[in-house]
Chains A and B, each alone.
Chain A
Amino acid sequence: MEFKTILFYIFAAVTVLAALRVITARNPVHAALFLVLAFFNVAGLWMLLQAEFLALVLIMVYVGAVMVLFLFVVMMLDINIEEVRQGFWKNLPLGALVGGLMVAEMAAVLSGRYFSLANLPPQTLPANYSNTKDLARVLYTDYAYPFEIASVILLVGIIAAVMLTLRRRKDNKAMHSSDQIAVKSKDRMRLVKMAPEVELPAPENKGEQA
């Protein structure tokens, strides 16, 4: 057996186990961390397919950014597992239907008879082949407009998310750094010129003060 085949089975086995633990782990933080493990192993699988750009971007985007924010939220929430598990039997038929549909569709694609996957020539890539360069060339020439449209849609999504949660509360006491930095010494302190005062002899104290 070739070494790459052994690697494939290791990555695949860990992916499946981690993915199973994502849905069976009782603690939501553990589940999220198992999802991170699954992402890592999928990145390893893609690396074996010589798709190093996709593999590294998967780690950078999903592991480095998305899952960090996901963990951030999961840690902040105090999720009661028993409550979450209550609807299990009620939701099972619908869930099984969706899951079964996805498995069937994937099997249809992967079995490949109708998609002529078997006709594809086996890839033999030279050692200096750059996946990144090829991807970029196609993305910025043939698919320039779909790429731009997709990025604009994402930008709209970002702005929409910000606007939905933006509430200018009246009772907010947060400080604005820009206002603070813009402050001049004149705004805070006033120098007053006045004639020097002459000290008068203090009036004599009548009786002790308590």
Chain B
Amino acid sequence: MEATVLNLLASILGPLWAPLWAVAKPVWPLIWTLARIVLIMAPLLLCVAYLTFWERKIIGWMQVRIGPNRVGPWGLLQPIADGLKLFFKEVLFPAASDKKLFVLGPVMAIAPALALWAVIPFSPGWVLANVDAGVLYLLAVSSVGVYGIIIAGWASNSKYPFFGAMRASAQMISYEVSMGLALITVLMVSSSLNLTDIVMAQSKGRFAGYGLGLLSWNWLPLLPMFAVYLISGVAETNRAPFDVVEGESEIVAGHMVEYSGMAFAMFFLAEYANMILISAMTSIFFLGGWLSPIGFIPDGFHWMAAKMAAILFFFLWIRATFPRYRYDQLMRLGWKVFVPLTLVWILVVGVWMMSPLTIWK
């Protein structure tokens, strides 16, 4: 892709290109990396904005309401209006708060949510950093996300945010365990930590040979792990029905109570960016990423986008459907159901891979 862009630039600029290139050549890797970061971040932030709109519309329809329809045609400018409102609101600091950490909280929430996108492949070769330890990087950086909530909750020096922070740290650590254990089975069957390799490993198999790639993806042989991963993903992003961190009826909005304006918007952005990220990760690990479900239709980014949209719809769907979990039931589900289930399934997959019945060669 790099060569194509260079050729395109040269043909556009014509005679100007040679002197420009002489200046730009030493810093070209930097320019190229920055350009790709912008190419990932700009659509991502746009997706975040319209995911909030989509969420309000879908939940509206599910509850037989209309949803936002006033700003712009069909309400399409609503997220822009919301963003502008938050942008121009003042960021208030509670008098007894720890000012420095109060600012650091939202930063620590959004930074990992954006940094994680560095290793996500969108299509063969379309990845910012094609690293061998991609899964480890995802697990490591996503575990940092909880600091934003903890720091915000503590720095606010207020009761409800503190409860939110306490709940968050316990919940997110618990569900990281089951998420990581569910991923171990994926790593076992694809024998790689590289995300591109994990997707390509799903393109092989008996059904893929028949032209039904859909049935060769990891979701079918690892069905229980797929369910565990998806549900843990909902819990990890603190979305309903596991949104006890910000449960409105109990602790108002948890760690976000004292935040206003853009500082609040940062938490909001981080939550939705994490949702999109979980959907991307689920489609890579279990749903074959950019692979086409049926043999004769070409692979490509459009499949990845479609899978991500379907998982995002699932997120919104369960939010409109289920009541919030009680906190002790949430912990019980994580530690007493998911963790034992994943541990047993790791053993099952290990035995399966060693037996003559193995489907992974």
Residues of A within 8 A of B (CB): 27, 29-30, 33, 36, 52-53, 56-57, 59-60, 63-65, 68-69, 71-72, 75-76, 128, 130-132, 174-175, 177-178
Contacts and interface: CB of A to CB of B under 8 A. Distances in A.
A132 B133 contact: yes
Contacts of B332: 177-178
Interface stretch (B135-143, B207-215, B247-255): B135-143
Contacts of A53: 133, 136
Interface in B185-241: 193
Contacts of A177: 326, 328-329, 332
Interface stretch (B73-81, B161-169, B271-279, B309-317): B161-169
Contact of B139 (A29, A30, A33, A60): A60
Contacts of A174: 328
B286 interface: no
A56 B136 contact: yes
A130 B132 contact: yes
B140 A64 contact: yes
Contacts of B136: 52-53, 56-57, 60, 132
B154 interface: yes
B132 A56 contact: no
B39 interface: no
Given A72-B170, A175-B328, A177-B332, A64 B143 contact: yes
B176 interface: yes
B178 to A, nearest CB: 14
Contact of A72 (B101, B133, B140, B169): B169
24 contacts: A27-B98, A29-B154, A33-B151, A52-B131, A52-B133, A56-B133, A56-B137, A56-B140, A59-B141, A64-B140, A64-B143, A65-B143, A68-B150, A68-B169, A72-B150, A72-B166, A72-B169, A75-B165, A75-B166, A174-B328, A175-B328, A177-B326, A177-B332, A178-B332
Nearest to B150: A71
Interface string B296-334: 000000000000000000000000000000101100100
Nearest to B194: A130
Nearest to A129: B132
Interface string B144-173: 101100110010000000100110011011
B54 to A, nearest CB: 31
Contacts of B173: 64-65, 68-69
A71 B326 CA distance: 24
6 residue pairs, one from A and one from B, having the closest CB atoms: A64-B143, A59-B140, A56-B136, A60-B140, A56-B140, A177-B332
A59 B150 CA distance: 17
B193 A68 contact: no
Contacts of B165: 75
A75 to B, nearest CB: 5
B169 A69 contact: yes
A29 B141 CA distance: 21
A72 B154 CA distance: 10
Most chain A CB inside 10 Å of its own CB: which residue of B98, B133, B162: B133
Nearest to A71: B150
B237 to A, nearest CB: 16
Given A57-B140, A59-B141, A177-B332, A68 B147 contact: yes
Most chain A CB inside 10 Å of its own CB: which residue of B98, B132, B176, B328: B132
Contacts of A178: 332
B324 to A, nearest CB: 15
B130 to A, nearest CB: 11
A59 B143 contact: yes
A128 B132 contact: yes
B144 A64 contact: yes
Contacts of B101: 29-30, 33
A132 B192 CA distance: 10
Given A53-B136, A175-B328, A63 B144 contact: yes
A31 B67 CA distance: 47
A53 B136 CA distance: 8
Contact of B176 (A27, A59, A64, A71): A64
Nearest to A181: B329
Contacts of B146: 64, 68
A132 B101 CA distance: 35
A56 B137 CA distance: 6
Contact of B147 (A36, A60, A128): A36
Most chain B CB inside 10 Å of its own CB: which residue of A30, A59, A68, A130: A68
A72 B141 CA distance: 19
Nearest to B165: A75
B201 to A, nearest CB: 15
Contacts of A30: 101
Contacts of A27: 98
Given A59-B144, A63-B140, A68-B150, 16 more contacts: A33-B151, A52-B132, A52-B133, A56-B140, A60-B140, A63-B144, A64-B173, A71-B150, A71-B154, A72-B169, A75-B150, A76-B166, A132-B193, A175-B328, A177-B326, A178-B332
Contacts of B326: 177
